[in-house]
Amino acid sequence: MNPSTAKLSNGRRWFLLALLLSVAFVLMGRTVYLQWQQGGYLEQQGKKRFETTVELDAHRGVITDRNGEPLAVSAPLDTLVVNPKRLLEHLTPQSSGELARLLDMDERTLHEKLASRISRGEYYLKRQLTPDVSAKIAAIRVPVENKQGRVRWQRLPGTKFLREYNRYYPMAEVTSQLVGFTGVDNNGLAGLELSFNEVLSGTEGEKLVVVSNNRHRDVVEELEMVAEPKDGEDLVLSIDRRVQYLAYRELKAAVQAHEARAASAVLLDAQTGEVLAMVNQPAFNPNNKAQRANAAFHRNRAVTDVFEPGSTVKPFTIAAALEAGVISPRTVVDTSPGRMRVGSNTIRDAVNYGPIDPQTILMKSSNIGASKVALSMSAEQLWKFYDRVGFGVDTESHFPGEADGRTGDYWKWHEAQQAAFSYGYGLSVTALQLARAYSVFANDGVLNPVSLLKLDKAPEGERVMSADVARTVRKMLESVLSDKGTGKAARVKDYRIAGKTGTAHRSGKGGYDEDKFTALFAGIAPASKPRLVLVVVVHDPGRNEWHGGSVAAPVFSKIMAGALRLLNISPDDLSPAQLREAGLDFDQGPAHVAMNGGHL
C-alpha cells in the first residue's frame, strides 16, 4: 500500500469514528432531553394512549312491599360485544351454527348482521343474555393460528361480554302502574321507578386500566380503583302485596263482569295515610316489552285521571253545613215534590222523599236535600271546606304525573253551580284524593298526607274538621248500608261499615253523555274504630248496570272483607251469641247504630 492510500484510509477511519461519536452524543443528548425536559409530557401522552378509565355499574336498589316482599329486583345479564371482522374471520360452520342457536337467530341472519357492520370496531350483537347462555357462548372454541403458525383452539376471537342488570317484576301486572318499569339502560321510565330513580340508581364507579396497543384496545391490566360504585338504596313501599293482589283480582273481575272501560281502587291506612293497595284496569305486564310499548296502559289512573265524583261528596256538603252551624243533625229538609228548579236547571231525586233529615239525605242520596243544604251556606264557605279536606290540591304522594283535580272559582258560581257542586258535579278529583278526603271522617277530622312509602310512625296531620262533626257524619254514613240505603251491597259480615255510593254522568262533547257513567263507592271500616279507607271507581260499566250501589259497592265489599281478614283487624259488629262463642264476657255486643233513617 502506498503512503497516499494509507493516508486516505486513516482519514476515512477517523471520519467514521467522529461520525459515530457525534451520533452517540446526539442520541445521548436527546435521551437526556426527553428524560429530563420532556419526561412528564411524554409520560402523560403515554397514559393517554394506553391508560383509560372504565365505568363500573352500580346495582339498582330493590323495591319491596311493607313486609319486605320483592316488587322489583335486578337480575344480572350480559351484552355480547363483538368485532364483526375478527369474528367473521374465525367462525367455522360448526361454531357459527352453535352461536346462532344460542343467540336465538338463524345463521343467515347472524352473518348478515356481522357483514353489514364489518367496518365497525365494536358492535352490540345481543343484549340481555342470561349468565348461563353467556357461559355457553364463552365455551365455544375455534381453531386460531398464531404467529409461529401453530393452531390452537381458543374462544371466539373478537368477542367480549359486558355485565348489565335487567329489572324483573315478580308481581307483574298486579303492581305495574304503581311500581312502573326501567329501560335497557336501567333508568326508571314510569311509576315509582321514575320518581325515585335517583335514589334507586346509586352512583357509577370508575377503574383505571391499561389497554392494548391495537384497534381492539382490550384491557390488559387493571391499575387502580378511581371511585367505588355506590349501589342504589332499597325502596320500601307502603303497600301490602297480599292486599294489592286481592284488590287487583276483584277489580279485574268486576271490569270483566260489567264490561267496563276502566277502573281504579285505592286502600288507605286511615291512621297514617299510607297506601296499602292501589290498582287499576286495564293493566300490563312490565316484564313483557311488547306490552310496555303501549303507553296507554302506563297510566296509574288512581293518581293521574280525574272524574266528577257524584254523590260521594254529599257527606262533605253535610259536614260543611254542620261545621258552619247552619244545620244540626236533627234539621228537617223538605225535598217535596221530588224536583226543584234552580236557575235554568231542574234538580231531581229518584222519588219524592218529602221532609228528611241530614242522615236520610245521605242514606237515600237526595240531590235536592244536598242542594238545599249547600244553598244555606255561602259559596265561599262550601268551597273552602272542600279545599280543606284536600279536593283540588296535590296529595303529596310524589307520584309522577299526579293530577290536582279542580274545584273551580266559587266567586263565579251562580246558584245552579253551587247546588250541583254539593252532589258532585262541577268539580273533578282523583281516586286517591277521594280516599284521602274520606280518611278525614275516619281520622276524627284530621287530614294526613298520603304516603306511598312505609312510615316508621304516623305523621302529624292537620285538623280540618271538628272531631264531633267527623264522628257524626261517620255515623250517618252507616245508614247508607242499611236495608233502606243505596249501599247495602257494600256490607261486610261482622263489621260496621260507613260509606257512600256515587253515580255520575260522564261529560262529553256538548255536555253530559246520558249513556256513560262513573260508578263509585267510598267507605270506612270498621266504623266504630276506623282502620281502613277504600275507594272503588268503575268507568263506563255496561250490561244495564251503572249505579255505584250495584257496580262499585260489591267490589268494595269483597276487597274490604279480604283486607280486614289479611290485616287481622277485629270485627266490631258481633252478636251476643258470637261474643259468647268467642269467650268474651259481654251481655251484648257493641251498640249498633239504628240505621232506619231516623234522627240522630
Task: Confirm whether 24 is domain-assigned.
Answer: no
What pLDDT does 594 receive? 32
Output 163 or 384, whichever has higher pLDDT.
384
24 — pLDDT class (breaks 50, 70, 90): confident
In this predicted structure, the answer to whether residue 220 has a pLDDT above a threshold of 70 is: no
**579, pLDDT greater than 70:** no
Q: Is 144 helix (H, G, I), strand (E, B) or coil?
A: strand
The per-residue pLDDT of the chain, averaged, comes to 86
Closest among 353, 573, 325, 323 to 469, alpha carbons compared: 323
The answer to whether the beta carbons of residues 388 and 342 sit under 8 Å apart is no
Identify whether residues 224 and 248 lie together within a single domain. Answer: no
- Least confident among 218-227, 468-477, 498-507: 218-227
Residue 521 lies in a domain: yes
The domain that holds 129 is classified in CATH as 3.90.1310.10
For the chain, the distance separating the N- and C-terminal CA atoms, rounded to the nearest angstrom, is 146
With CA atoms as reference, report the closest residue to 300 among 259, 268, 273, 266.
266
Q: How confident is the model at residue 144 (pLDDT cuts 50, 70, 90)?
A: confident
Specify the pLDDT at position 227. Answer: 64
Residues sharing a CB contact under 8 Å with residue 363, sequence separation 6 or more, in sequence order: 476, 479, 480, 482, 484, 485, 486, 595, 597
Q: Between β-strands 63-64 and 235-236, what pairing exists: parallel, antiparallel or unpaired?
A: parallel
pLDDT for 374 beyond 50: yes
Where in the sequence is the domain holding 326, given as residue range(s)?
241-581
The verdict on 168 and 266 lying in the same domain is no
> Does 203 lie in the same domain as 279?
no
Residue 18: its pLDDT value, please? 75
Record the pTM: 0.80
Where residue 549 sits, what CATH number does that domain have? Answer: 3.40.710.10
Are 346 and 434 contained in the same domain? Answer: yes
Task: Give me the mean pLDDT over the 4-25 stretch.
Answer: 71
Residues 199 and 342 in one domain: no
Model confidence at 249: pLDDT above 80: yes
Domain total of the chain: 2
Strand spans (E) along 85-170: 123-129, 141-145, 151-155, 159-168
The distance of Cα 497 from the centroid of its chain, to the nearest Å, equals 29
Same domain, 254 and 199: no
In a domain, 38, yes or no: no
Give the burial string for 163-183 (b: 16+ CB within 10 Å, else e): ebbbbebebebbbbbbbbbbe
**Structure confidence by residue, pLDDT tens digits, 394-444:** 898 989 999 999 998 999 999 999 999 999 999 999 999 999 999 999 999
215 and 321 Cβ atoms separated by less than 8 Å: no
pLDDT at position 590 is 40
Confirm whether 21 is domain-assigned. no
Per-residue pLDDT tens over the stretch 328-348: 999 999 999 999 999 888 999
Residues 449 and 355 in one domain: yes
Q: Which residues are catalytic?
A: 311
- Residue 153: the pLDDT is 84
Asked whether residue 23 is assigned to any structural domain, the reply reads no
| 33 within domain boundaries | no
pLDDT at 1 over 70: no
Which residues, 6+ apart, have CB-to-CB distance to 98 below 8 Å? 140
pLDDT over threshold 70, residue 72 = yes
Q: Which grid coordinates are listed for 242?
A: 297480599
What pLDDT is recorded for position 595? 32
In this predicted structure, which of 261-275, 531-545, 566-580 has the lowest mean pLDDT? 566-580
Residue 146 in this model has a pLDDT that exceeds 70 = yes
pLDDT the model gives residue 219: 52
Q: Which residue among 185, 217, 236 closes a domain? A: 236
User: Does a structural domain hold residue 162?
Assistant: yes
pLDDT on residue 575: 72
Q: Which residue has the higher pLDDT, 534 or 162?
A: 534
Q: Please say if the pLDDT value at position 376 is more than 70.
A: yes
Which of these ranges, 119-128, 246-255, 513-522, has the smallest mean pLDDT? Answer: 119-128
| pLDDT for the residue numbered 508 | 73
Q: Tell me the C-alpha distance between 438 and 432, whole Å.
A: 10
- Provide the pLDDT for residue 291: 86
Instruction: Give, in order, the Cα–Cα distances in Å from 280 to each of 59, 266, 526.
Output: 30, 9, 24
| 208 and 316 fall within a common domain | no
> Which percentage of the chain shows pLDDT scores above 90?
56
